[in-house]
Structure 1
Amino acid sequence: VAFSPDGKTLVSGCFDKTLVLWDTKTGKSLPPLIGHIFDPPIVPVSNVAASYVAFSPDGKTLASAINDGSIYLLDMQTGKRIKTIALNWVPFTSIAFSPDGSLLATGSNDGTVRTWNVHSSAHLLNLDKKGNQVNCVAFSPDGKILASGDLDSTVILWDAVSGERLRTLGAHRDNVNSVVFSPDGKILASGSDDRTVMLWEVSTGKHLRTLKRHRKDVQAVAFSPNGKILASASSSGTVLLWDIAVENMD
């Protein structure tokens, strides 16, 4: 799932091979007012199930990575497919836009992080960590660092331009499902199947804190716009809010 930058729309990638748009205020699927292809408001993107989605920073474009190894760009105003970035690569498992919207990063089940030029569709970098599936990817706010989390229980920080591996963060005890940078780019949060959220200092890789109050695996983490509150969501159906300025939270 992904929220549009204005928070008004939620898109979900489904196992029935579709993308569905939702009004976040009403909780209902959107009426057919942004193009005939969304009437009903469902976009068939592939004949293969499972789609991972991300909005461009301006909210005008939706990127969909499919587990058949394809990446599609969709126009949110017309509902039409703008471009195909990739075809018949390895199955993708995550996708993210860079802050300026010029790049896409993808994770895949072969343990590789890849970057792509949105405008030219060129494949730029192959970041092979030589391990298990990459579950999540995220750019830092300045676009210079790319974080990935995987089935090896590790988080890796990469130079988004050169592809150099900067740091490996290895305190989790199970799969890492979600990574996110704080708005100022100084802290990285990671959520894991080990039921914890961990906070890391980006500049040094230092493990700052472990948040332990979830009873089941943590599937998603997100910072508030001011960076003071961290939200974490668990497969138990609970969302916890953390004041990360408070000491001794674990």
Structure 2
Amino acid sequence: MLPTSRWPLFSVSLVLFLAQVVPNQSGLADDKRVDAAGDPLPESIRMRMGSTRLWHTYLSGLRFTPDGKQLLSLGGFGEPKQCMLWDVATGKHLDTKPASSFPLAISSDSRWWVSYADGKIHVAAGLAEKPIHTISLDKVESATITRDNKTLTVLTTDDWVYRWDLNTGNELSRHQFALVDPLTCADEPLARISPDGTLLVGVLRRDWSTAKRPLPLRFWNVATGKEARPSLPATDNYFDCRWTADGGQLIVKTRYRSFVIWDLKTSEKLAAWPGSNNYNPVVTPDGRSELISSYEKVAIFDLATGKYGWSQDVAPQVPGIGLKLAVVNRYAFSPDGKTAAVGSNCGRIVFIDWHTGKYVEASTRQFRFYKEG
């Protein structure tokens, strides 16, 4: 039996050998050659070990189209990045577009698509449409469209919040908030815009610098720049927060990955759970659970009971080596709320029924080799 330490060398040698001795993987003419998944092979390539479906290297973004039939991914090594379009039913690659096509936000009526690239915000009427408005702005962190689909709210990494009228492209307001500076805190506490685009939550620099504890976690109306509601108490380890989709609850995180769930209508603490070895949590559409990654796996965590449910591999370790070279880092939920697209920094994307933890059909059509052969 081949020693495990020589598996990588053996795999490379096998690829080179097959490329020379296999005349044609599909038995078709050279201009019609396909791999095992039925996808065309590049010129001069005789065989593909595996499939390129649902793979996008250096993945940095995922989003479903409004009809849920296609998935957009953003990624690529260095610059420029690329936006790739995938068929959800089959996992087949449909098209490749510039990074400026990847939407940061899509209005609920699908009328407005907002993307960002090269220091410019692009507002278009669809994926392939030319921008209706182009706005120059640096350091964009997030973009949110209000529920009435009339206003775009943008948060920058230097804590400016801008608002634009989507119909006219006119700026409505801008406010800067003196939030904690990254030089003050090694792990900068993050600020977040509410799902309806009307509120900002964060920690002020002056609050952080005082000895007063617990820290007040403050809320501002982004249109007026004024505080909109009473603050919530947060520990000095506050790092991040997540809103539920309806904006009714806030999940407050610490740098030690513990968290507290708050009811924003009553300011009542609903639950508190200690830290664990998890990263990149995202709240499920029903607001009752989180998808949490731990290296190559993704699991579901019940926010009410504090217990884990199913766990699923997304980025398996390298066969024969046992190294964990990938971490789950991207999520997107389908418009009907049934399916989660989960991606890792190695580039693999899978579709999971997040209620059951089972792969959706398109993900079962990917091909890969295991140590057992």
The two structures have a TM-score, normalised by structure 1, of: 0.70
The secondary structure found in structure 2 opposite 1:133 is strand
Give the residue type in structure 1 aligned to 2:251.
Answer: A
The secondary structure found in structure 1 opposite 2:109 is coil
Q: Distance in 1 between matches of 2:312 and 2:276?
A: 12
More helix by share: 2
Match of 1:80 in 2: 170
Match of 1:201 in 2: 302
Equivalent pair of 1:222/1:231 in contact (CA under 8 Å)? yes
Deviation at 1:62, TM superposition (A): 1.8
The two structures have a TM-score, normalised by structure 2, of: 0.50
1:69 maps to which of 138, 159, 170: 159
- The alpha-carbon distance between structure 1 residues 242 and 248, as it changes in their structure 2 partners (threshold 3 A), is closer
Number of aligned residue pairs: give it. 230
Between the aligned residues of both structures, percent identity stands at 22
Matched, 1:235 2:345: yes
Give the residue type in structure 1 aligned to 2:332.
Answer: A
Give the residue type in structure 1 aligned to 2:155.
Answer: A
Deviations 1:85-143 (A, max 9, x none): 443333574533245x5544458997985432345432233552421532x522243x3
Give the residue type in structure 2 aligned to 1:181.
Answer: T
Deviation at 1:232, TM superposition (A): 1.8
Match of 1:223 in 2: 333
More strand by share: 1
Equivalent pair of 1:70/1:89 in contact (CA under 8 Å)? no
- The alpha-carbon distance between structure 1 residues 218 and 96, as it changes in their structure 2 partners (threshold 3 A), is farther
Deviation at 1:237, TM superposition (A): 3.0
Give the residue type in structure 1 aligned to 2:136.
Answer: P
Q: Which has the larger Rg?
A: 2
Matched, 1:58 2:148: yes
Give the residue type in structure 1 aligned to 2:108.
Answer: P
Match of 1:137 in 2: 242
Q: Distance in 2 between matches of 1:22 and 1:214?
A: 34
Deviations 1:7-65 (A, max 9, x none): 45443455x55434466532x6x33x3xxxx3xx2x2345xx24222222233222211
Give the residue type in structure 2 aligned to 1:158.
Answer: W
Match of 1:44 in 2: 136
- The alpha-carbon distance between structure 1 residues 180 and 247, as it changes in their structure 2 partners (threshold 3 A), is closer
Deviations 1:208-245 (A, max 9, x none): 23333235323332333333222223223333211134
Matches within 5 A, 1:115-154: 115-118=219-222, 120-123=224-227, 124=229, 125-131=231-237, 133-134=239-240, 137-141=242-246, 143-149=247-253, 151-154=255-258
Q: Distance in 1 between matches of 2:233 and 2:199?
A: 15
2:180 maps to which of 84, 90, 113: 90
* Contiguous gaps of at least 5 residues in structure 2: 1-103, 182-188, 209-214, 317-325, 360-373
